[in-house]
Structure 1
Amino acid sequence: MNVKDFMEKHGLSDQDLDQMAASYEAGDYPTSGNRVYVGSHLSAVGMKRVTVAYPASDAQEVKEIARARGVSASDIYRTALAHYLAESDIA
């Protein structure tokens, strides 16, 4: 869903959005005592997205392993990297 469709679905106008953003832009947005993060949500949760190229056959094998284990391919890659880092002499 694009922004226009979202706004139409919820009956919002540009003026409504401006009004909703006014307190945040003025620096007095009520946070209810919760921390407000600025920037990528990945930084806030302690993760960073990276792009790595693998041979297609290896990527397919990872996908099959992940499916068999009921986890995501990302879980397999993270686990493999964690093992590598744990055994690395550089760290």
Structure 2
Amino acid sequence: MKKLAFQNDQLIQLEEVSKIISLNGYQFDMYDDFWVLNRESKIRIGSALSKYEPSLAEEIRAGLVYFAENKSPGYVSYLCETLIKYTKVTGVCNF
């Protein structure tokens, strides 16, 4: 994700930000293969995204970051398991 700011009345990109805080207050790096969103969850993001094309995987990752920040870890885990099952069942790596 990109950190943005206004400078001289223009929106500019300052730096790439990859540290995120989960709904339960746990910090994780959005580019790690595993996300720890609370003391009981370790979510396999790398496994969920490994079969998808890189550009699509980044779009999905951004969506999962939103859910990690705003929804329960169980919900994010369910979404990742669904992504894994989708590629196994359909054999398709895009939507």
Question: Structure 2 length as normaliser, TM-score?
Answer: 0.25
Higher strand share: 2
Bigger radius of gyration among the two: 1
Structure with a larger share of its residues in helix: 1
Higher relative contact order (CA 8 A, sep 6+): 2
